[in-house]
Amino acid sequence: MADGEGKTGNNGKKVNLLVVTYPAQGHINPLLQFSKRLHHKGAAVTFVVTKFLFNNQPNSDHPPPFPVETISDGHDAGGFLSAVSISDYHDRLKHDGSQTLRDLIRRKEDAGRRFDAVVYDGFMPWILDVGKEFGLRTVAYFTQSCAVNNIYYHVYRGEIKAPVVAAAEEEIRIAGMPLLTMADMPSLVQVGNPYPGFSDLVINQFGNVEEADWLVCNSFYELEHQVLEGMENKWKMKAIGPNIPSFYTDKRIDNDRDYGFNLFKMNNEVCQKWLDTHPKASVVFVAFGSYAALSVEQMEELAWGLAQSNSFFLWVVRETEAAKIPAKFAEATAGRGLLVPWCRQLDVLSHESIGCFVTHCGWNSTLEALTIGVPMVAMPQWTDQTTNAKFVTDIWKTGVRAPLDDAGIVRRTSVADCILKVMDDDGGTKIRKNAAKWRELAKRAVDRDGSSDRTVDEILAQLVFV
Ligand code: UDP
């Protein structure tokens, strides 16, 4: 079937999908993008976010081409930050979220719209039960890499004991995975993890995976085939990514250049104008996603490292992080840098002036850099970022990992050394070559008849004839 032709069953009816995202930028982006793919292939999509986020998005210059509906997380006025604890937030999300999701499905059914399936974020496994109550097929969507899912799955089944106790150099063996050390394990399963509420969330994703009709992951076969093959006998995760706006991959979806649901205000014009004035591959782009908060000491070391690198830099410093910038930094780097509170990261990464990406290795940022072909300096902070950094540097070999000192800080000299290593004409050549290789493979995966494209078609074809 040709793209956009529309998947219809024997009765000529479109497949009708409900897609529900966990309320965070790093989850909304890939689920929204997956929805656009499904929509482009002819499915009718209703996208669901929390009421709080819906009412608090400053930007949507490219709104999604399908309706967006809301459920409640029990914190309609203040969202996550108004909860008394992480666990409290997730308890209310489950309680109020399942009730309001039921109401939404009933309301739509009363209006004559019956859903065929619910695609839901793995962080909210309770949606599977709501879907089954209404007789819907269920697709669990995982926003982490297959490797990270594999680790959490093993922890859930007790095959890896958490917190993981191992000496710093000890090798940790997990089927289908390269040898890992403690530093490569997700922080949420390491000793001393200060966020048990988030550990519960990521591990409990796997409580009912056997009951879901499909498990899909925002990755692609070529990138993680060893992990996927290693998992095959135990469970049936399929790779359907990278879920990134089509403009940066196969260009098959018109006007798809932005994710389209932004929780922060963009600064596109100022970034583009500034980047336009810089030579090819000369600028270091620095961004740590929507959530990570650096210590004051780490922020200072990073700032002085950028100064020491003598490179041009575009640094995203969210408003909540801005007070940590050293007082004399602007003066010391005058004419070399631009600081913005948020940007359209995809536009920046794909600008020809960008030479490397200093990143926290959030999974979306990692996939975006791989897909656009930008070499990375990995500075993982927490959750799955440590594992993503391991794969970036040692498996895909598209970057270097900035070393921590005994206090767990990346010092300024290491920041500058890593940047120079990646940007350097000689040392960086191999990394750039690998980055170009992954860029092509990522694009091919989502393009017509690519590995991810075929998997999405298979899932849709099975839904058409339910
Ligand atoms: N992002 C952006 N502008 C910024 C920083 C980040 O648009 O200035 C986007 C980025 O493209 C990615 C998402 O925010 O899609 C961050 O997700 P990621 O998984 O990398 O990190 P998280 O925010 O979940 O820690």
**Average pLDDT of 318-322?**
96
Please work out whether the CB of residue 347 comes within 6 Å of at least one atom of ligand 1.
Answer: no
Catalytic-labelled residue, pool 73, 116, 121, 258: 121
- Candidate from 290, 343, 368 with most ligand 1 atoms within 8 A of CB, to mutate: 290
Q: pTM of this prediction?
A: 0.95
Task: Give residue 8's pLDDT.
Answer: 55
**Architecture label for domain 268-441:** 3-Layer(aba) Sandwich (3.40)
Expressed in angstroms and rounded, the spacing between residue 343 Cα and the centre of ligand 1 is 9
Q: Locate the ligand 1 atom nearest the alpha carbon of residue 385 and give its number.
A: 25
Task: Output the average pLDDT for the chain.
Answer: 93
pLDDT for residue 188 is more than 60: yes
Q: Where are the domains of the chain?
A: 16-150+194-252+447-464, 268-441
Task: Give residue 1's pLDDT.
Answer: 38
Asked if 27 is an active-site residue, the reply is yes
Which of 83-97, 187-201, 210-224 is the least confident region? 187-201
Q: Locate the ligand 1 atom nearest the alpha carbon of residue 359 and give its number.
A: 20
pLDDT digits 0-9 by tens, 444-457: 999 999 999 999 99
pLDDT for residue 369 is more than 70: yes
Please work out whether the CB of residue 289 comes within 6 Å of at least one atom of ligand 1.
Answer: yes
Give the confidence band of 11 by pLDDT, cuts at 50, 70, 90.
low
pLDDT for residue 2 is more than 50: no
Contact by Cβ (8 Å): 423, 356: yes
Give the confidence band of 161 by pLDDT, cuts at 50, 70, 90.
confident
Q: Locate the ligand 1 atom nearest the alpha carbon of residue 344 and give its number.
A: 7
Asked if 95 is an active-site residue, the reply is no
Please work out whether the CB of residue 381 comes within 6 Å of at least one atom of ligand 1.
Answer: no
Q: What CATH class has 16-150+194-252+447-464?
A: alpha beta
Task: Give residue 24's pLDDT.
Answer: 95
Expressed in angstroms and rounded, the spacing between residue 274 Cα and the centre of ligand 1 is 21
Residue 404 backbone phi and psi in degrees, to 5: -90, 145
Task: Give residue 191's pLDDT.
Answer: 86
User: In CATH terms, are 16-150+194-252+447-464 and 268-441 the same topology?
Assistant: yes
Task: Give residue 7's pLDDT.
Answer: 54
Distance (Å, rounded) from C-alpha 144 to C-alpha 216? 10
Task: Give residue 466's pLDDT.
Answer: 54
pLDDT digits 0-9 by tens, 390-447: 999 999 999 999 999 999 999 999 999 999 999 987 778 999 999 999 999 999 999 9
**Average pLDDT of 49-72?**
88
- Candidate from 365, 371, 381 with most ligand 1 atoms within 8 A of CB, to mutate: 365
Q: Locate the ligand 1 atom nearest the alpha carbon of residue 383 and give its number.
A: 25
